[in-house]
Chain A
Amino acid sequence: MTEPTTTDPKAYLSHLELGEPDKTFLDTNELIINMGPQHPATHGVLRVILKLDGEKVLGTECVIGYLHRGVEKIAEHRTYTMFNPYVDRMDYVAAVSNGLGYCEAVEKLLNVEAPPRAKYIRVILTELNRLASHQLWLGTHALDIGAMTPLFYTFRDREEILKIFEKYCGARLTTHAFRIGGCLYETYEGFEDDVKKFLDFAPPKIEEYEELLTTNRIWLDRTKNVGTISAKDCIALGVTGPVLRASGVKWDLRKAQPYAAYSEFDFEIPTGTNGDTYDRYLVRMEEMRQSLRIIRQAVDRIPEGPIMAKVPKVMKPPVGEIYHSIEAPKGELGYFIVSDGSTQPYRIRVRPPSFVNLQALDIMVRGQLVADVIAVIGTLDIVLGEVDR
């Protein structure tokens, strides 16, 4: 067994070439502070080591792995169908998206396509999940910055979505909604009515959140020009999702490489200009509205037909490898599956969006103050289940 890693924070920072600021006799010493893994603000068990000069951040190092469960290793000993529930537990906030990505990847490997009705159901549930994920993000992000109330409002409104999930597949959070080849469950009696009722219920609520935060002077002061990252840096680091779009790059996999039934819907990709926290906030709020738009178009014209394609009971995909990615609420979620012809995959590698986005934390908080570190972690919208797997 390898020896346990050192807990001395200075050892982690030796590779960062941090310049020494101009020193005067009034300068305080540089400080190395450890934030987490237990901390009220970090979303999940994330440990961040900060090198501070007074209050200014000179550099950071993230220590992850506290939630590592060996999901990818487990995948090598499960059949493709057995691995489906594990996928939900990675990004547990947006479990439906994870399931969609995995099922579509395996379907691509098997060269099978889900029937149109299944695709529509998948789109509706995934967009509902995107909305729920963004609502949770909004509540926790506002709480970090100090606004206590939006958390309760977003969680109350998220309940409606979770009720729909529960009626559909029996679970609220880790839904296991989809199967390889389509959906297992037919839409329940009254599904369209519930979704339509939700479509009337949601827009005033989004207005309510905007009213509380968007033009609030304190919110603007806390989020404008905080955690700025340029488009060039985003692309260099591989950052995707709302973070990339807020920096000005109009890249969304639902439009660039359409999957499920997204090519049949009419929606827009919101982008920002500055790449700061405020832009990311605006982009995610607009994405919530666009999700509602997609659901509204989808629920009206769900095609009739079967919900499950013809897949063999014992799945033995041909030898090969495939990479398939979808636009999860947090960014590009990709699955790289290597099959060796047997019922169990040889290797499944998940490309979690939060893991890649977390690398941008260092660039975003250089030169900012300590209070901004928490705001930036919130705005990156990371879920440690996904980062560590």
Chain B
Amino acid sequence: MLDYITSYLSSNTTPGQAGNVFWAFVYILVVFGGVSVAVMAMNWLERKALAHFQIRLGPMRVGPHGLLQPIADAIKLFTKEDIVPDKADKFVFWIAPLIILCAAFSVYIVVPFGPTHAITDLNIGVLFMLGVSSLAVLGVVMAGWASNSHYPLIGALRSSAQMVSYEVAMGMAVVSAVLMTSLNKTGTGTLSMIGIVQAQQQQQIWFLFKFFPLGFIAFVIFAIAMVAETNRAPFDLPEAESELTAGFHTEYSGLRWSLFMLGEYAAMIAVSSIAVTLWLGGWMRPFPNTLTGAIWDLVFSLFPGAIFIALAVIAFVGVVRMPKHPYFRIQTLGLAGFGAVLGLIGLILFAPPVRDRIQDIFWFVAKVAVFMYLYIWYRATWPRYRFDQLMKVGWKVLLPIAIGVLILTAILGVLL
């Protein structure tokens, strides 16, 4: 038994490939917990960043600078009354958010945080991710139908039509990235996520810059399609409040609604992970080939610790600027404690054994975090598309460009 557990520690593959169920389970728990924490952090970041874009402050009271706001929201949603519409189909009503949640979370099975840090490495990894995220459409359709109400049905049909349309463009963009993996020295491409990042490593170029501007255009198409896929601004007509239909999750309240939000944020992080893996070099640090050498490796390995120390410094600056009123004592102490924890993590990340192991995970998470910030930025800046314009962009603009990029990539790949 103990041999079973420790035998994995010396292997250099993912637990799924090594067939080690115990460690696969551990990895699943870690990823699930990590994604849940990330979703809560994303919730907080969205409210704070959106507020700062709009020259407001955002949540400030629950915990210092609103850091405990997601927990307060979660408690509120858990304790709300669960209202099921009268003539709604109870079974379908119950299962719809679960389908979206399962579809969103199943994608993380193949997300590669490092060359061996993934739950498993299916050799059809990209195909699996596309397929499972397309199952979320079913959940949306069922949610709208089960509410037995006019507006959610229209919202659900629109939302699912939008998701299906942009999946096509997404698929084309993904295929052109997969084409680039076949330009290895071995001459065979791969659909596995870890294989794609290793192909970028072998070819010594991020696919973003390969055959410039083709890789870049494919990336941009995927970036736009993934925003539409997750029903976020500027493609959030189905869930906009100021339009006539308020979206497929109108009739859901309390815990069920929070499951939808959880699924939406998890899907956002999942498709961002796909984008990072396919075009931005996955877990590789920036400039792996132009700035080589032990010194640069050392410099880049100091980044995780440095970023956490910087966050701790920001927290302490916030502590200094807190009002000196007795009511704020708890918040000041809380923020100071939070800053101390961040600083401690930063110091731990400076230690060499931790430093080397954490590199891959850190760079992957950092790149995905950039995408998350971009999502919030899009929401703050742009108005939303009308539904017919949305569909027009998906079918008449993105799809032809994606097909064109695919053909050109194939031609260049054969010629060069």
Task: Check whether chain A touches chain B (CB < 8 angstroms).
Answer: yes
Q: Which residue in chain B gives the minimum CB-CB distance to A223? A: B383
A137 to chain B, nearest CB (A): 15
Chain B residue, CB-CB nearest to A141: B383
Main secondary structure of the interface of B (DSSP, over half): loop
- Report if A148-B385 is in contact (Cβ < 8 Å); known contacts: A156-B55, A371-B237, A371-B243: no
Please give the distance in Å from B207's CB to the nearest CB on chain A.
27
User: Closest approach, in angstroms, between the C-beta of B378 and any C-beta of chain A?
Assistant: 10
- Determine if A152 and B233 form an interchain contact, defined as CB atoms under 8 angstroms apart: no
A156-B55, A374-B243 known; A145+B383 contact, CB < 8 A: yes
Q: Is there an interface contact between A146 and B233, defined as CB atoms closer than 8 Å?
A: yes
CB–CB A216/B382 < 8 A: yes
**B residues less than 8 Å from A66 (CB atoms):** none
Docked complex Cα distance between A156 and B56 (Å)? 10
Distance between A301 CB and nearest chain B CB, rounded to angstroms: 36
Give, as a whole number of angstroms, the nearest-CB distance from B232 to chain A: 12
Complex alpha-carbon distance, A147 and B233, angstroms: 10
Interface residue B381 (Cβ < 8 Å from any Cβ of A):
yes
User: Are A149's CB and B242's CB within 8 A?
Assistant: no
How far in angstroms is the closest Cβ of chain B from A345?
Answer: 41
The reply to whether the CB of B54 lies closer than 8 angstroms to some CB of chain A is yes
In the complex, what residue of chain B is closest to A39 when comparing beta carbons?
A: B242
Whether A221 and B54, one on each chain, are in contact in the complex, defined by CB atoms closer than 8 angstroms, is: no
A219 partner residues in chain B, CB cutoff 8 A: 383
List residues of B (179-196) whose CB comes within 8 Å of A's CBs: none
B384 at the interface (CB under 8 A from A): yes
Decide if B387 touches A148 in the complex (CB within 8 Å).
no
B217-260, CB under 8 A of A: which get 1 and which 0? 00000000000000001101100111110000000000000000
Question: Which residues from B are CB-within-8-Å of A261?
Answer: none
A153–B53 Cα distance when bound, in Å, is: 10
Interface flag for B84 (CB, 8 Å): no
Chain B: CB-nearest residue to A52 = B244
Contact A369:B388 (CB < 8 A) given known A144-B242, A374-B243: yes
Does any Cβ of B come within 8 Å of A35's Cβ?
A: yes
In the complex, A212 has a CB within 8 A of chain B: yes
| Set of chain B residues within 8 Å of A145, measured between Cβ atoms | 383-384
Q: Of B233, B379, B384, which is in contact with the most chain A CB atoms at under 10 Å from its CB? A: B384
Q: A41-B242, A143-B242, A144-B242 are in contact. Are A221 and B386 (CB under 8 A)?
A: yes
The chain A residue sitting closest to B242, CB to CB, is: A41
A221:B385 contact, CB within 8 angstroms? yes
Give CA–CA (A143, B240) in the complex, Å.
11
**B12 part of interface (Cβ distance < 8 Å):** no
Distance A143 CA – B383 CA, assembled complex (angstroms): 8
B55 / chain A contacts, CB cutoff of 8 Å: 152-153, 156
Q: Is the CB of A33 within 8 A of B383?
A: no
B383 and A142 contacting across the interface, CB-CB below 8 Å: yes
Q: CB-CB contacts of A71-101 with B at 8 A, as 1s and 0s?
A: 0000000000000000000000000000000
Q: Does B389 touch A at the CB level, under 8 Å?
A: yes
B382-A218 in contact (CB<8A):
yes
* Complex alpha-carbon distance, A147 and B385, angstroms: 10
Which chain A residues border B382 with CB–CB below 8 Å? 146-147, 216, 218
- In-complex Cβ contact of A147 among B243, B383, B386 (8 A): B383
List A207-242 residues whose CB lies under 8 Å from chain B. 212-213, 216, 218-219, 221-222
- Closest chain A residue to B243, Cβ basis: A371
The CA of A303 and the CA of B242, in the complex, are separated in Å by 49
For A33, what are the chain B residues with a Cβ–Cβ distance below 8 Å? 244
Q: Which residues of A contact B54 (CB under 8 A)?
A: 148-149, 151-153
Contacts of B381 in A (CB 8 A): 147, 149, 212
Residues of A close to B383: CB separation below 8 A: 142, 145-147, 213, 216, 218-219, 222
Contacting residues, chain A, for B234 (C-beta < 8 A) = 146, 218
Residue among A33, A142, A218 with max Cβ neighbours from chain B (10 Å)? A218
Cα–Cα distance between A213 and B382 once the two chains are bound (Å): 8
B388 and A35 contacting across the interface, CB-CB below 8 Å: no
Contact residue among A142, A149, A369 (Cβ-Cβ distance under 8 Å from B386): A369
Residues of A near B386 (CB, < 8 A) are 221-222, 369, 371-372
B380 within 8 A of A: yes
Is A40 part of the contact surface with B, judged by Cβ < 8 Å?
yes
CB distance from A182 to the nearest CB of B (A): 39
Q: Hey, which chain B residues are within 8 Å of A370, CB to CB?
A: 243-244
Of the A-B pairs whose beta carbons lie under 8 Å apart in the complex, a sample of 17, sorted by A's number, is A40-B241, A40-B242, A55-B387, A55-B388, A146-B236, A146-B242, A147-B381, A147-B382, A147-B383, A148-B379, A152-B54, A156-B55, A216-B383, A221-B389, A222-B385, A222-B389, A369-B388
Q: Contacts A40-B241, A218-B382 known; list 8 others, CB within 8 Å.
A: A146-B233, A149-B381, A212-B381, A216-B382, A218-B383, A221-B386, A222-B389, A374-B242
Q: Could you list which residues of chain A lie within 8 angstroms of chain B, going by C-beta atoms? A: 33, 35, 40-41, 55, 142-149, 151-153, 156, 212-213, 216, 218-219, 221-222, 369-372, 374
Per CB-CB distance, the 10 closest pairs between chain A and chain B, nearest first, are: A146-B384, A146-B383, A152-B54, A147-B383, A41-B242, A145-B383, A371-B386, A40-B242, A221-B389, A218-B383
